[in-house]
Structure 1
Amino acid sequence: MKEQNPDNWNKFYLRDVSFVNLMMWRIYNVLIVANPYDAFMLEDDGRIEEKIYNEYMELGLRYPPTFTQVSTIEEAEKILTTIDVDLVICMPGNADNDAFDVARAIKNISPDIHCVVLTPFSHGITRRMQHEDLSIFDYVFCWLGNTNLILSIIKLIEDKMNLENDIRQVGVQMILLVEDSIRFYSSILPNLYGYLLTQSQNFATEALTKHEASLRMRGRPKVVLARTYKEAWQIYEQFKDNVLGVISDVRFPMDRNEKSLNTFLGNPPQNEKDPDAGLKLLRAIRHDNEYLPLIIESSESDNRARAEKEGFRFVDKNSKKMSVDLRHMLEEHMGFGDFIFRDPVTHEEVKRVRNLKELQDNIFSIPNNSMLYHISRNHVSRWLSARAIFPVSAFLKNITWHKLQDVDRHRQIIFNAIVEYRRMKNHGVVAVFDRNKYDRYAHFARIGDGSLGGKGRGLAFLDNVIKRQPDFDRFPGVEVQIPKTVVLCTDIFDSFMERNNLYQIALSNADNDSILEAFLQARLPEALNDDFLAFIRATRAPIAIRSSSLLEDSHYQPFAGIYSTYMIPYTDNHHAMLNMLTSAIKSVYASVYYSDSKTYMTATSNVIDQEKMAVILQEVAGKQHANHFYPNISGVLRSLNYYPIGDEKAEEGIASLALGLGKYIVDGGQTLRVSPYHPNHILQMSEMKTALKQTQTQFYALDTVNIDDNFKVDDGFNIVSLNLKDAESDGALQYIASTYQPNDDAIYDGIYDGGRKIISFAGVLKQDVFPLAQLLRTAMKHGSEAMRRPVEIEFAVNIDSVGKGTLYLLQIRPIVDSQQLLSEDLSTIPDARCLLRSNSSLGHGISDDVADVIYIKVNETFSGANNPAIAAEIEQINRKFLDTDRNYILIGPGRWGSSDPWLGVPVKWSHISAARVIVEEGLPNYQIDSSQGTHFFQNLTSFGVGYFTINPFKDDGLCRRTILDALPAEEETHFIRHVRFPSPLKIMMDGKKQQAVILLPEEN
């Protein structure tokens, strides 16, 4: 964390911390050295290991140690050859002192092993131990039969082992206990550790996942035991920036140079103890740190007045409720438990907060006098430290009342720091959804214990990439993030299907409308409603309900665009919105069993009843414009560019940009094609005629006024198509449009009165008002590196009136590139060997197992008006190919898959899923710009399907239709012909050069 200037405290430099590398050194194996009788007494009929295990489990601790007992040196040596002993507990018994001989022998063999003495202090044992050399032992403890002491010994040793590393790693706090009485620290340590470990379970609830909660417990404050003034001061000096508080006796030695029983027992001659050592120590610490909580504990009642006179807290050792008093002190002054805001005069409770979110929600409602009382004593920072929220604690610790005497600014700084911390912790983490914590600062959460599905996994991965790469944060005023997201995991789907008995109709041959109706009549678990309402309240925006099946966007079989995605508008009537949300979820579930989905499953050799569906609830990226909601920019970025132009390279990627919702791009609408590495060189804007012809004229938006809650099979039933004049009146064209002035016959960047508007994105691409190209290069670079393969990324952009804004990364998925090698230069193959040649192809690899060709007849009567009928005929033929497990080459004019039938045949992927090569053919009287396979891109690459563009009438590519026409028809309709060659054709595609050929069979 950087040093802060007082005028700059509202700007944050919070550094996230990881708990995974804390408590790296543990006590796994404990060796008890005792005669059999004493060991049996210790184990209480052999159950000490069971008791310790149960204690660990109750406290949520992992790694309970195992215990082994030995009585002789020979037994100890044998054990040491078989296991790594971490701690030796020496129990000197009444009968003899052989245990010390065994312990010393162990120490000689393994000098680094920690050793402690554990013994009941009877008169006989004390007398026998008077002359023992105890220098090999870390501590001596008094055994009164409480197994909690064993746990405390283990934790005290572990804290000692990990102290320096854990403080250095993340700033873990410590409590310094200064006490030389064996009996007393043997009594207080179990109480202290029991309290701290219970508190660690409580503050672990700040974690977003179960795994993080278990790791977060490692951040609990450590306990360090000192037994002299010198030892205590050395520890304080070394770790003073991380001391949470000090608990000290009053009377103890100033120094100790030997480890005899007398010094361990705390019963040396009186002149060896200083009766004011504790007061001297706390005075020195107070002089160094005015805020640190300091507690005196003493059995001498006169010390209460002396301690309180100097501002120290006091606990009476003689009190029967001493442990309770100490816990109250810890809660009140060291930040444990709830944070209680108090009236500084009456000391009465004003407000109690239990967690970070409650502190954030209430910080502005605390009375000024109470707020001043707590911030002037650094209570907030200390409370955060005790809860292991180290980044915010460390930040606030430097903003003392001496430096900034303004209560309201303190409030705002605390609030902003908490918000920044919660944002930082939410990014890159799939939290367990908690409706009581979920608010507008929450980010990504899951409901259920099943899988996130393909898209869900991609989103979680993308969120993690954003979090780990500081490159995304280098532009002031620009944010890069995924939208607020909650995923309903696949187990919710399983439960929904089984509880409503839906499999029978889902797997039947019922039509899509009947399946949807059955699903809409079914019921989701009632318990989800409160979760959904919490999400709606926190989001306060339209919500996209997206499919995320197990197979979608997987690395090997991406199911892009197969299932439904619905959008619902935001309304202040949250219960009405809840009804729409639940209907949308059930509609997405239903889409798994639509006829197109079943056909696709057959084409991919998957079994429909093995598909599992997660559902993504996601804030729609965009802005409210009058009666509609949409973003300034939507786009698809691909890290492989199979259509490089000019100086572009295939590996520099390509982006398709459009105004409005991204559904417009998916549906094959007119987009602007741009390489992020060449934002100033756009083919579509290179010539006046091309710019006017190829600009976007319509866009999609969500209707937020005419709300339709009657869900349909068509997931775009509430999406409206608008024209550019609507966007212009909304003020949404700033920075993304240019104006054609007919009087000048020129195009000017920007919006001017009159003239036709052209969607050029000039403000963001040429003028760099918003750094879109740089951000897309960053996303492509880190996304590809993280996935170790080419990627496709969906995104949206909101830009405000001053050019700042947010880039929302909506999805990432791999582009599965063919692994086939292609060594031959396709340009050297003569036309005489080719049935078809393309100089603008998509795809890479070689195949030689396709003999069938389906092509649209293009005689003088061809018209785009017939394209819907052509689509229906092709779907029928495609089904036959699926049934026989064959593939074909598909040739036809215009854009395959276009939502506008005048631009091409409006097929869905399931209608042509058996095609191995798809060819867009231009005709002299039907010249449609290439779609670049927009809608089918992910499916094309995952299945290795070629997508060719040819325009033979202007010598761009070749298609020898005379050869096809001469073959007998396997099937022929009014519009199409299906022919079969006697032997397979050879398909060769060079994805780097965008060249492809289909070779005729070689004659025998």
Structure 2
Amino acid sequence: MSTVPQQWNQFYLKDVSFVNLMTRRIFNVLIVANPYDAFMLEDDGRVDEKLFDEYMELGMRYPPSFSQVSTTEEAEQVLKTTDVDLVICMPGNADNDAFAVARDVKRMAPQIPCVVLTPFSHGITKRIENEDMSIFDYVFCWLGNTNLILSIIKLIEDRMNIEHDINEAGVQMILLVEDNIRFYSSVLPNLYNYILAQSKRFSTEALNPHAAAQRKRGRPKVVLATNYEDAMRIYEKYHENTLGVISDTRFPMHTPHGQLAQVQDGDAEAGLKLLREIRKRDEYVPLILQSSESENRAKAEAEGFDFIDKNSKKMNVDLRQVIEEHMGFGDFIFRDPQTHEEVCRVRSLKELQDNIFKIPNDSMLYHISRNHMSRWLCARAIFPVSAFLKHVTWHKLQDVDAHRQIIFDAIVQYRHMKNIGVVAVFDRLKFDTYSHFARIGEGSLGGKGRGLAFLDNIIKRHPELNQYPNARVMIPKTVVLCTDYFDQFMDKNNLWGIALSDASDEEILHHFLKAQLPDALIADFFTFFDAVKSPIAVRSSSLLEDSHYQPFAGIYSTYMIPYLDDKYEMLRMLACAIKGVYASVYYKDSKAYMTATSNVIDQEKMAVILQEVVGKTYGDKYYPTFSGVLRSLNYYPIGDETAEEGIASLALGLGKYIVDGGQTLRVSPYHPNQVLQTSEMETALRETQTRFYALDMSRVGDDFQVDDGFNIKNLRVKEADKDGALTGIASTFDPYDQVIRDGIYEGGRKIISFCGVLQHGVFPLPEILQMSERFGADEMRRPVEIEFACNLENGEQGKMNGNFYLLQIRPIVDSKQVLDADLDAISDEKCLLRSANSLGHGISEDVTDVVYVKTNDDFTASENPYIADEIEQINRRFLNEGRNYVLVGPGRWGSSDYWLGIPVKWPHISAARVIVEEGLKNYHVDPSQGTHFFQNLTSFGVGYFTINTYTGDGLFQKEVLDSMPAVEETPHVRHVRFDKPLKIMMDGKKQKGVVLLPDAEQ
């Protein structure tokens, strides 16, 4: 294939906003008519209904309303009291004189368009010849055809909007040159019928019903000229946007000396002269000559113009065929230039994209050398691509294959642009590798679905996110199965009974997996598989999840399924995953969470997100280069970082590792060189990631488990090193020289330091994170948490190319309580607990209980799973009693690795008001950060303290608790209760917190 010249490759398509088109409308029409004509319009013609239907089709809310009067006096009264946009004068009562009435109306309201409808007779024709018609906007021949009224309104609206719409979006114009009133009165309704039918057809290029209604506003405008000078003036003004010209042969034309041509009925060759002049200026624009004199056919065809015989019984059919063939209406038919036979037909932009490389060369050459492709796109209101291709003419680029490539690239870029930021209605005929975000069903998208659509919109409105040549920012391909499918699934399979019972999670899942999803989804799912060609994440998106005030993050299941060549096997796994997500609404933990948040479980509804998993295949593993969570509030600023600059947690592999509380790299996007964990060798060796998660591509089958991580591999970092997946994100520890070197070298342990993307600029990660955080927080008007993932691969000149995917955005809901006190001024003896590293903000004075882990000298982390069970039992009693408590324990709460801390889930500690991570002499604590767990903590204003009393960081008067009687005591945990409430005070900006003993005076 030939190489496309550089200048044709560098183009940028600007989107068109159809909402700004056709903004000037005719709302109130005054008809002055005798009672008979009024009756014809109202009862026989039902003009109101016809117009109403057509306006509804166009997505307009307010079709014109009609007022009908019989006399000039009545008209005057209406004009005084109503805002009239158009007056139509019909034959009068006695002498059939609409002209006298129209003159009176023009005198009363000269600024309002006024149209005369008149029946035709010899007397009227003579009358018109002697009348000064210039004061009327238009005169039409009235034969009782109500479609004419619609055409008149459209013609005047087109005139009102043409200049703005052409400048705004490049809308096209069809110029009709005709001075015969009877003739244009019959042609215009047919022309408009055809144009409106075309606009309905091309609106199917839109991605959802709202966009389809808006697209119709991009239909071509019709302009009527009645003499040569008007026609030339209109053409010269809008020549760049002329879709075609339809001209009569004989009409008025001035001589070179300014005299009107002294020829009966105008100049006999005015039409030919007009079309010749236009052809000189534009070799491609379709030109159609009409005439009732058959000898004009030979003249027209000799000059390459199309000809239509006005005397033909099928004149309207002929006109329609010519318009379809030459003005790009209807399907695009590729023809054999010799035989003129059809070789290929395309109905949509996607079909053109799919077939562009299959069209025979001679047919392709025939069409591109006549600019047919550009015109077809224009007629379908695909203005950005059309305008671009219009200038890539055959003269400038005489290479068929280069043209094919340019057309293909332009369509791809246009479809990318149109897909971003739009929630399309899923359509099997349109969804492909260039599609983006679609919905199946009419219900809600759910919380995560809304968040994704919102992110997509942010990307569309902030092109600066994609300013770096080696970085593309986007969301993964996504289809949302809306909540109405959930309702249908629950009802059809009679699942409410088991769902709301006290059955075990396993039993609930078993019942859900046996249930059936609608068969109608099968073909949609197959289309989605073909479009993504990657593993699929099946994520919950419930109504309550990620809502602004009560985030349900991490409560429901997220399954991942591998990509398989066997589509039916993949379909089976996908169905199981969807049913597993549905079932997770009714698991024990979900029900406990509902109770904790005062929600009613039968109000919860579940949408399901099907999304390509970001990553690459490495043997039987699949994972991204890295994942992360970005928060726009940093509760642990170090050095010169500030709370408002935000914080990111980065990890190799799947993001579930971060959610599960694994060891991540914590960095402020504004201070990429300041990473605490890699500042010293010992810290880097001890506190960087040693394991990562990957999807097990070999785990195939329908044995789905309650644990949504059943097919996720927990691997050592050296496995990723063998895969060659660490470039840009790892350093190497040299055991001989006892140093850590940035980059990857033979031998030596690999440290996940992210040195390449943070400090060496191989990929603009800090800049993308800064923008994502800023735009996200600005658009949500509050602090946000954003999940992301990225695939990197080697690029040129030491850089790396990467696709950066934004996966989720949700608000961080902070307590608004005012804290005036200086916590440093409170003395230690008044405090039960003090932390200089706390998360949370506000004051609480209603907690009397403390639950703490008994950390004696013989404490060992191997007991942590048992401690988690004991705390869950105690927490359940607190929930039942509606009480809260302060929780203190060693290590990292919520870690899935029980060697790092106690492996509780949020529902197991949901009644805690303050959670404290305590460091022991031989059990060092690194503050957790960026997990779903913390989203819940901050949402409910729960305090989170880190203390390491052995290093002098913080205070914990454990002896006070040890001396008190226990309300309850288990092998590892004690629960004590004070007579009066403890006072909890947290300063979120300074990261300081205290729990005051009862009766302590500040």
Q: Normalising by structure 1, report the TM-score.
A: 0.97
Q: Which of 370, 391, 398 in structure 2 is aligned with 1:398?
A: 391
Report the alpha carbon displacement of residue 930 of structure 1 after superposing the two structures with TM.
2.2
Match of 1:951 in 2: 948
Match of 1:47 in 2: 46
Report the alpha carbon displacement of residue 7 of structure 1 after superposing the two structures with TM.
2.6
Match of 1:1001 in 2: 998
**Aligned-partner residue type, residue 855 of structure 1:** Y
Report the alpha carbon displacement of residue 589 of structure 1 after superposing the two structures with TM.
0.4
Match of 2:327 in 1: 334
Change (3 A) 1:318 1:757: same
Report the alpha carbon displacement of residue 253 of structure 1 after superposing the two structures with TM.
0.4
Q: CA contact under 8 A between 2:102 and 2:116: conserved in structure 1?
A: no
Q: CA deviation digits over 1:329-382, x for unaligned, max 9?
A: 011111010000000111100000000000000000000000001011101000
Match of 1:754 in 2: 747
Report the alpha carbon displacement of residue 880 of structure 1 after superposing the two structures with TM.
1.3
| Structure 2 residue 224 is matched with structure 1 residue 231 | no
Work out the CA distance in 2 between the residues paired with 1:967 and 1:81. 89
Match of 1:695 in 2: 688
Q: CA contact under 8 A between 1:848 and 1:984: conserved in structure 2?
A: yes
Q: Which of 848, 852, 860 in structure 2 is aligned with 1:851?
A: 848
| Structure 2 residue 456 is matched with structure 1 residue 463 | yes
Change (3 A) 1:834 1:573: same
Report the alpha carbon displacement of residue 53 of structure 1 after superposing the two structures with TM.
2.9
**Aligned-partner residue type, residue 186 of structure 1:** S
Change (3 A) 1:894 1:352: same
Work out the CA distance in 2 between the residues paired with 1:883 and 1:898. 26
Q: CA contact under 8 A between 1:97 and 1:128: conserved in structure 2?
A: no
Work out the CA distance in 1 between the residues paired with 2:674 and 2:838. 21
CA RMSD, Structure 1 to Structure 2 (Å)? 1.8
Match of 2:518 in 1: 525
Report the alpha carbon displacement of residue 987 of structure 1 after superposing the two structures with TM.
1.0
Q: CA contact under 8 A between 2:471 and 2:803: conserved in structure 1?
A: yes
Q: Secondary structure at the match of 2:224?
A: strand
Change (3 A) 1:872 1:14: same
Report the alpha carbon displacement of residue 44 of structure 1 after superposing the two structures with TM.
4.6
Q: Secondary structure at the match of 1:231?
A: helix
Q: CA contact under 8 A between 1:60 and 1:201: conserved in structure 2?
A: no
| Structure 2 residue 779 is matched with structure 1 residue 786 | yes
Match of 2:621 in 1: 628
Report the alpha carbon displacement of residue 71 of structure 1 after superposing the two structures with TM.
2.3
Q: Which moved more, 1:925-934 or 1:206-215?
A: 925-934
| Structure 2 residue 199 is matched with structure 1 residue 200 | yes
Report the alpha carbon displacement of residue 196 of structure 1 after superposing the two structures with TM.
0.5
Change (3 A) 1:125 1:281: closer
Work out the CA distance in 2 between the residues paired with 1:947 and 1:391. 53
Report the alpha carbon displacement of residue 929 of structure 1 after superposing the two structures with TM.
2.1
| Structure 2 residue 713 is matched with structure 1 residue 714 | no
Match of 1:867 in 2: 864
Q: CA contact under 8 A between 1:52 and 1:147: conserved in structure 2?
A: no
Report the alpha carbon displacement of residue 126 of structure 1 after superposing the two structures with TM.
4.9
| Structure 2 residue 918 is matched with structure 1 residue 925 | no
Q: Which of 890, 905, 921 in structure 1 is aligned with 2:887?
A: 890
Match of 2:10 in 1: 11
Report the alpha carbon displacement of residue 566 of structure 1 after superposing the two structures with TM.
0.3
Q: Which of 787, 812, 816 in structure 1 is aligned with 2:813?
A: 816
Work out the CA distance in 2 between the residues paired with 1:738 and 1:595. 43
Work out the CA distance in 1 between the residues paired with 2:601 and 2:868. 25
Report the alpha carbon displacement of residue 93 of structure 1 after superposing the two structures with TM.
2.7
**Aligned-partner residue type, residue 453 of structure 2:** A
Aligned ranges 1:503-514 → 2 under 5 Å: 503-514=496-507
Q: Secondary structure at the match of 2:867?
A: helix
Match of 2:411 in 1: 418
Q: CA deviation digits over 1:929-969, x for unaligned, max 9?
A: 22237341110111111110001122110111122122222
Report the alpha carbon displacement of residue 623 of structure 1 after superposing the two structures with TM.
0.6
Work out the CA distance in 2 between the residues paired with 1:125 and 1:134. 13
Report the alpha carbon displacement of residue 608 of structure 1 after superposing the two structures with TM.
0.4
Aligned ranges 1:610-689 → 2 under 5 Å: 610-689=603-682
Work out the CA distance in 1 between the residues paired with 2:400 and 2:131. 60
**Aligned-partner residue type, residue 540 of structure 1:** K
**Aligned-partner residue type, residue 158 of structure 1:** E
Work out the CA distance in 1 between the residues paired with 2:931 and 2:858. 28
Match of 1:377 in 2: 370
Work out the CA distance in 2 between the residues paired with 1:982 and 1:1003. 13
| Structure 2 residue 303 is matched with structure 1 residue 310 | yes
Report the alpha carbon displacement of residue 883 of structure 1 after superposing the two structures with TM.
1.4
Q: CA contact under 8 A between 1:871 and 1:905: conserved in structure 2?
A: yes
Q: CA contact under 8 A between 1:430 and 1:445: conserved in structure 2?
A: yes
Q: Secondary structure at the match of 2:176?
A: strand
Work out the CA distance in 2 between the residues paired with 1:775 and 1:889. 39
**Aligned-partner residue type, residue 780 of structure 1:** E
Q: CA contact under 8 A between 2:763 and 2:802: conserved in structure 1?
A: yes
Work out the CA distance in 2 between the residues paired with 1:823 and 1:106. 74
Match of 1:561 in 2: 554
Report the alpha carbon displacement of residue 627 of structure 1 after superposing the two structures with TM.
1.4
Match of 1:260 in 2: none
Q: CA contact under 8 A between 2:787 and 2:807: conserved in structure 1?
A: yes
**Aligned-partner residue type, residue 864 of structure 1:** A
Work out the CA distance in 1 between the residues paired with 2:391 and 2:126. 53
Q: Secondary structure at the match of 1:371?
A: helix
Change (3 A) 1:1000 1:255: farther
Q: CA contact under 8 A between 2:626 and 2:652: conserved in structure 1?
A: yes
Change (3 A) 1:776 1:761: same
Work out the CA distance in 2 between the residues paired with 1:919 and 1:579. 44
Work out the CA distance in 1 between the residues paired with 2:53 and 2:202. 21
Report the alpha carbon displacement of residue 778 of structure 1 after superposing the two structures with TM.
0.7
Q: Which of 294, 306, 315 in structure 2 is aligned with 1:322?
A: 315
Q: Secondary structure at the match of 1:969?
A: coil
Work out the CA distance in 1 between the residues paired with 2:146 and 2:897. 77
Aligned ranges 1:534-573 → 2 under 5 Å: 534-573=527-566
**Aligned-partner residue type, residue 605 of structure 1:** S
Change (3 A) 1:83 1:829: same
Work out the CA distance in 2 between the residues paired with 1:96 and 1:682. 94
Q: CA contact under 8 A between 1:770 and 1:805: conserved in structure 2?
A: yes
Change (3 A) 1:341 1:127: closer
Match of 1:431 in 2: 424
**Taking every aligned residue pair, what percent have the same amino acid on both sides?**
71
Q: CA contact under 8 A between 1:708 and 1:718: conserved in structure 2?
A: no
Q: Which moved more, 1:948-957 or 1:61-70?
A: 61-70
| Structure 2 residue 820 is matched with structure 1 residue 827 | no
Work out the CA distance in 2 between the residues paired with 1:836 and 1:43. 83
Q: How many residues align?
A: 991
Report the alpha carbon displacement of residue 8 of structure 1 after superposing the two structures with TM.
2.2
Q: Secondary structure at the match of 1:351?
A: strand
Q: Secondary structure at the match of 1:504?
A: helix
Report the alpha carbon displacement of residue 58 of structure 1 after superposing the two structures with TM.
6.5
Q: Which moved more, 1:707-716 or 1:530-539?
A: 707-716
**Contiguous gaps of at least 5 residues in structure 1:** 257-262
Report the alpha carbon displacement of residue 829 of structure 1 after superposing the two structures with TM.
1.2
Q: Secondary structure at the match of 1:135?
A: helix
Change (3 A) 1:57 1:765: closer
Report the alpha carbon displacement of residue 46 of structure 1 after superposing the two structures with TM.
7.6
**Aligned-partner residue type, residue 138 of structure 1:** D
Match of 2:902 in 1: 905
Q: CA contact under 8 A between 1:90 and 1:115: conserved in structure 2?
A: yes
Q: Secondary structure at the match of 2:852?
A: strand
Q: Which moved more, 1:949-958 or 1:59-68?
A: 59-68
Work out the CA distance in 2 between the residues paired with 1:188 and 1:1003. 93
Report the alpha carbon displacement of residue 817 of structure 1 after superposing the two structures with TM.
1.4
Report the alpha carbon displacement of residue 706 of structure 1 after superposing the two structures with TM.
3.4
Q: CA contact under 8 A between 2:98 and 2:118: conserved in structure 1?
A: no
Q: CA deviation digits over 1:417-451, x for unaligned, max 9?
A: 10110000000001000011111010100000111
Q: CA contact under 8 A between 1:52 and 1:151: conserved in structure 2?
A: yes
Q: CA contact under 8 A between 1:896 and 1:933: conserved in structure 2?
A: no
Q: CA deviation digits over 1:262-302, x for unaligned, max 9?
A: x9xxxx97346110000000000000000110001111100
Report the alpha carbon displacement of residue 756 of structure 1 after superposing the two structures with TM.
1.1
Work out the CA distance in 1 between the residues paired with 2:573 and 2:37. 71
Q: Which moved more, 1:615-624 or 1:120-129?
A: 120-129
Work out the CA distance in 1 between the residues paired with 2:129 and 2:377. 46
